[in-house]
């Protein structure tokens, strides 16, 4: 079954194609985004709007770069900061700090107009290369799979959310791959822009969220 990814960002689509067993089709639509400090709320709102636009089951992704020294900034404002301040200057600002730790956090949000089963409790899990995902997620104040039905906009369509987080460090730009903040985000001695898409996926916030989404789709589609 084809799954439709509503996003303006082809880099995200490439990553989803590496991960999901199902064929992924991009619907290039700039979904309106609410302003919120809560990535889950932004993603849920985005998924509902995308579903209403597409008229078919869809998923969206919302992600941001959270710099520890700036209490998480740019976080949910990453897109705006990327287009205004720019990646190079985010590096320069961070280079003045002693603490250059940061994390990418992301949420994959799925909406098909239906209700979802009750959400299981978070479980300890490893990624496909044996990394302990739960250890990274514990420090990042994310929760595991969730269903959201109300984000202050009344009786809203249910949205299923899958979170992912990866800790790293802000460094001077290196590498030509990836997109967005990838050149300044270092994980295990390499920036995300120095990794192939499958290498980035194996450790990234999006890869982690997509892994949970893929597991859920597979379970749901098993008779």
| Contact pick of 4, 9, 14, 119 for ligand ITT (by CB under 6 A) | 9
Is 82 an interacting residue with respect to ligand ITT (CB under 6 A)? yes
Using CA atoms, how far apart are residues 92 and 85, in angstroms rounded to an integer? 11
Are 78 and 106 contacting, i.e. CB atoms less than 8 angstroms apart? no
Does 62 participate in catalysis according to the annotation?
A: yes
| Interacting positions 187-216 with ligand ITT (CB under 6 A) | 192, 204, 206
**Can you tell me whether residue 94 is helix, strand or coil?**
helix
Q: Parallel, antiparallel, or unpaired: how do β-strands 58-67 and 3-6 relate?
A: parallel
Using CA atoms, how far apart are residues 9 and 181, in angstroms rounded to an integer? 13
| Site of tokens 């064929």 | 23
Is 70 an interacting residue with respect to ligand ITT (CB under 6 A)? no
Is 7 an interacting residue with respect to ligand ITT (CB under 6 A)? yes
CB atoms within 10 A of CB 171: 18
Is 61 an interacting residue with respect to ligand ITT (CB under 6 A)? yes
| H/E run at residue 2 | none
Residue whose CB is less far from ligand ITT, 78 or 103? 78
Is 63 an interacting residue with respect to ligand ITT (CB under 6 A)? yes
| Site of tokens 């889950």 | 40
Q: Chain centroid to CA 114: how far? A: 22
| Interacting positions 112-141 with ligand ITT (CB under 6 A) | none
- Number of residues lying near ligand ITT (CB under 6 A): 20
Is 182 an interacting residue with respect to ligand ITT (CB under 6 A)? yes
Is 180 an interacting residue with respect to ligand ITT (CB under 6 A)? yes
Contact set with ligand ITT (CB under 6 A): 7-9, 12, 61-64, 78-79, 82, 104, 178-182, 192, 204, 206
Catalytic residues: 62
């Amino acid at each position: 079954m084809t799954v439709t990814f509503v996003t303006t960002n082809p880099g995200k689509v490439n990553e989803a194609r590496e991960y999901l067993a199902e064929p992924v089709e991009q619907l290039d639509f700039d979904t309106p985004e609410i302003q919120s400090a809560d990535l889950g709320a932004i993603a849920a709102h985005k998924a509902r709007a995308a579903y209403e636009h597409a008229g078919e089951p869809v998923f969206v992704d919302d992600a941001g770069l959270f710099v520890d020294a700036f209490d998480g900034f740019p976080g949910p404002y990453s897109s705006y900061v990327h287009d205004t301040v720019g990646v190079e200057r985010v590096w320069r600002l961070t280079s003045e700090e002693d603490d250059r730790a940061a994390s990418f956090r992301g949420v994959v949000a799925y909406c098909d107009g239906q209700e979802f089963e009750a959400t299981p409790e978070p479980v300890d899990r490893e990624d496909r290369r044996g990394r302990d995902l739960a250890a990274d997620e514990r420090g990042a104040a994310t929760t595991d799979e969730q269903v959201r039905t109300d984000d202050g906009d009344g009786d809203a369509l249910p949205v299923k959310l899958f979170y992912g987080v990866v800790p790293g460090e802000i460094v001077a730009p290196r590498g030509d791959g990836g997109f967005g903040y990838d050149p300044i985000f270092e994980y295990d001695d390499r920036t995300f822009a120095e990794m192939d898409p499958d290498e980035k996926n194996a450790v990234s916030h999006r890869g982690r969220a997509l892994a949970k989404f893929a597991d859920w789709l597979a379970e749901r589609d098993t008779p």
